[in-house]
């Protein structure tokens, strides 16, 4: 992500509040093993092919949304990173009840490799992550690690890639295809119900204590909107991104004007956005074609940001009516 508090933290702050959660003392259980029995399984990654010879029994899920994807496939990780700060089981309310026993929560940007090793994993999922070579090297010394797909550093792994890679690693590629087909149908149904979204331009932005950032194409917040028929604001794609946002100075935020503007205030009240005179001058704002998520919208914006096969139904049910009101 773009803004870096000491090189990394605000990068994921733009992604809605990462937390480097600590551990508890329990090891947890593997959660009924793998979802399927299609082994050996080989997954292509940025760092080469990874072969899983037999059904893993102790899975650690570190990437953004990797744990929810494993849960959707019937596997309960013994350890998982809690990117959106849910605490407890580390997943959103749309995944309630899928764990028999809460996983041990592991840090996000800088996970404890000693903690991961202590869980004795036989498979590590790091499919949607920053994707550094050093991170992969250290993880792969602990257990076979399914890392990012080729060329998808900086959390740009798509939902399709994430599900395909994880379902293959867990021996259930057909189940993964079924999950994706179901999500695709839900998006298609929502788009059909709202033809007014078709070909409308959209800007999705975040505002933190570090300033403004616009999400680039390939980020899940933009991909979610594109599936509904919206088109990324072409002016944003002309900017120079760093990771998966393009930084904007205050005097540049006019570039965010589009048929619809969606803003995530990160660790700040919504009024820190809405009270800005330059923000108020954006035509989309003046004409009521904007959404600024508030603290009251926490579950909604987190479901939108998680963008997993588990969170998407929740997001579609809650976000789409907001979009329709703003566009209408």
Q: 215-248 pLDDT, tens per residue?
A: 998 888 899 999 999 999 999 999 987 777 899 9
User: Within the chain, how many helices (H) and strands (E) appear?
Assistant: 13, 13
* pLDDT recorded at residue 34: 57
Which pLDDT value is given to residue 241? 79
Instruction: Kindly state the average pLDDT of the residues 271-286.
Output: 98
* Shared-domain flag, residues 168 and 105: yes
| Mean pLDDT of the residues in the chain | 89
pLDDT computed for residue 131 by the predictor = 94
Kindly state whether residues 73 and 167 are assigned to the same domain.
Answer: yes
For residue 36, is it within any domain?
no
User: Is pLDDT at 141 greater than 50 in this prediction?
Assistant: yes
| CATH code of 224's domain | 3.40.50.1980
> What integer pLDDT is reported at residue 315 of this predicted model?
93
Q: What pLDDT digit, counting tens, does each position of 164-177 carry?
A: 999 999 999 999 99
Same domain, 214 and 277: yes
Q: How many domains does the chain have?
A: 2
pTM: 0.84
- Pairing outcome for strands 145-146 and 79-81: unpaired
Say yes or no: 88 and 151 in one domain.
yes
Which residues, 6+ apart, have CB-to-CB distance to 238 below 8 Å?
Answer: none
Is 305 a residue whose pLDDT tops 50? yes
Output the pLDDT for position 218.
Answer: 83
By mean pLDDT, which of 9-18, 79-88, 153-162 is the weakest?
9-18
Within a domain: 297:
yes
161 and 207 belong to one structural domain:
no
Give the domain range for residue 309.
Answer: 195-327
Residue 33 lies in a domain: no
* End-of-domain residue from the set 141, 172, 203: 172
- Whether the pLDDT of residue 69 is over 80: the answer is yes
Q: Which of 136, 157, 172 is the last residue of a domain?
A: 172
Whether residue 318 is found in the same domain as residue 246: yes
The mean per-residue pLDDT over the stretch 278-289 comes to 98
Asked if residue 78 belongs to a domain, the reply is yes
Gyration radius from the chain CA atoms: 19
Task: State whether 210 and 318 are in the same domain.
Answer: yes
Do residue 112 and residue 155 come from a single domain?
yes
Q: What is the reported pLDDT for 24?
A: 37
Cα 40–chain centre separation: 28
* pLDDT at position 275: 97
Residues 234 and 280 both lie in one domain:
yes
Q: Is residue 24 part of a domain?
A: no
Given 112, 141, 172, the domain boundary residue is: 172
């Amino acid at each position: 992500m773009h803004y870096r508090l000491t090189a990394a933290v605000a990068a994921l702050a733009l992604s809605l509040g990462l937390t480097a959660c600590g551990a508890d003392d329990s090891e947890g259980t593997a959660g009924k093993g793998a979802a399927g029995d299609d082994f050996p399984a080989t997954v292509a990654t940025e760092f080469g092919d990874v072969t899983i010879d037999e059904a893993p029994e102790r899975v650690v899920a570190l990437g953004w949304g990797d744990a929810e994807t494993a849960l959707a496939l019937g596997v309960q990780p013994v350890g998982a990173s809690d990117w959106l700060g849910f605490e407890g089981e580390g997943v959103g309310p749309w995944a309630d009840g899928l764990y028999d026993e809460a996983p041990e929560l592991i840090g996000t940007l800088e996970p404890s490799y000693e903690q991961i090793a202590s869980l004795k994993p036989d498979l590590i999922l790091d499919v949607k992550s920053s994707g550094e070579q050093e991170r992969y090297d250290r993880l792969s010394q602990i257990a076979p690690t399914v890392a990012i797909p080729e060329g998808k550093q900086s959390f740009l792994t798509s939902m399709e890639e994430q599900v395909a890679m994880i379902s293959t690693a867990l021996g259930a590629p057909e189940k993964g295809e079924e999950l994706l087909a179901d999500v695709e149908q839900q998006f298609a149904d929502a788009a059909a119900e709202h033809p007014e979204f078709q070909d409308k331009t959209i800007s999705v932005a975040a505002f933190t204590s570090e300033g403004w950032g616009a999400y680039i194409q390939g980020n899940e917040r933009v991909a979610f909107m594109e599936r509904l028929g919206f088109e990324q604001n072409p002016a944003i794609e002309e900017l120079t991104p760093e990771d998966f946002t393009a930084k904007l100075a205050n005097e540049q935020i006019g570039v965010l004007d589009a048929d619809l503007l969606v803003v995530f205030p990160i660790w700040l009240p919504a009024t820190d956005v809405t009270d800005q005179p330059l923000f108020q001058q954006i035509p989309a704002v003046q004409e009521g074609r904007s959404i600024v998520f508030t603290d009251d919208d926490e579950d909604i914006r987190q479901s939108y940001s998680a963008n997993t096969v588990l969170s998407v139904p929740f997001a579609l049910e809650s976000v789409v009516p907001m979009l329709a009101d703003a566009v209408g």
